Amino acid sequence: MTGRALVLGGGGLSGIGWTAGILYGLAEAGVGLWDADTVIGTSAGAVVGAQLTSGLLTPEGLYERQLAAPHGEIPGHLSPAGTFRHARAALSARTPEDFGRTMGHIALAADTPDEATRRAVIEGRLVSHDWPGRPLLVTAVRATTGEFRVFDRDSGVGLVDAVAASCAVPGVWPPVTIGDGRWIDGGVRSPANAQLAEGYDRVVVVAPVATGGGALASARSQAERLSASGARVALVTPDRTTRKAMGHNSLDPSYRAPAARAGREQAAAHAAEVARVWGRLSKGRRR
């Protein structure tokens, strides 16, 4: 397989904002990624990927949405105890499936908003509820088995449900019922799932969370593996200034706009590298 793959990783609401800012900042610098042959989205990246491939938003439009008041969002928070359970499970799991099952158990036992309420939030984030005409891959994990699943337009699953599943942070949001299964955040497998870009010769990975740990492969290690296989790869992760702007709670809607602004500013530092990987520049500023 050849072509261009754009990988968008997870990172909560601040991750959505930052990713949108990066994409707009790159477009301003003449590096438009809207023409990706395939977009791979995990959690926050699934939201941005669905927006990007909808055909209804320009890079600027996607960015401007992050600056608007976050009406309809429900603030989320993972307690210190919950964070510790996640970290302990990642370090002790022998395989990604082991970790997925542990996270699924946590998700199924947690006291969270109901599915319908959470689904309405995801509906409000998306400008289109239909799968796009070009390839969009959305990742999720089955709560009971740790099975990794990739949803697309041929999977028989609606876009809203697929994105809601990919964004179902264990212990914070409810698992999403699809068919006879309950599904949780695709980031439980990997923060970026850049392994799905294997076979593409040009890959850009935009990862709000670059690190992994234990059974979770990091975006950085996955990018290095893609490079070792012969692909041209650019990895974009938050710099120090951006990490500060993204705050300590990625699920707090108030951090979305500052993260978007920080991403837009940071993009200039990556434009040349991304252009070399992507293989062509937009003509002037892309709007």
| The pair of three-digit structure tokens given for residue 196, joined into one six-digit string | 């799905």
Catalytic residue among 161, 185, 201, 252: 185
Four-CA torsion 247, 11, 7, 192, nearest 10 degrees = 120
250 carries an active-site annotation: no
CA gap 88, 232 in Å, rounded: 34
Reduced 3-state DSSP string for 222-246: HHHHHHHCCCEEEEECCCHHHHHHH
- With a CB cutoff of 8 Å and minimum separation 6, the contacts of 64 are none
> Is residue 221 left, alpha or beta, with left meaning phi > 0 and alpha meaning psi from -120 to 50?
alpha
Catalytic residue among 43, 54, 250, 282: 43
185 carries an active-site annotation: yes
Four-CA torsion 219, 177, 89, 187, nearest 10 degrees = 10
Instruction: Write out the catalytic residue numbers.
Output: 43, 185
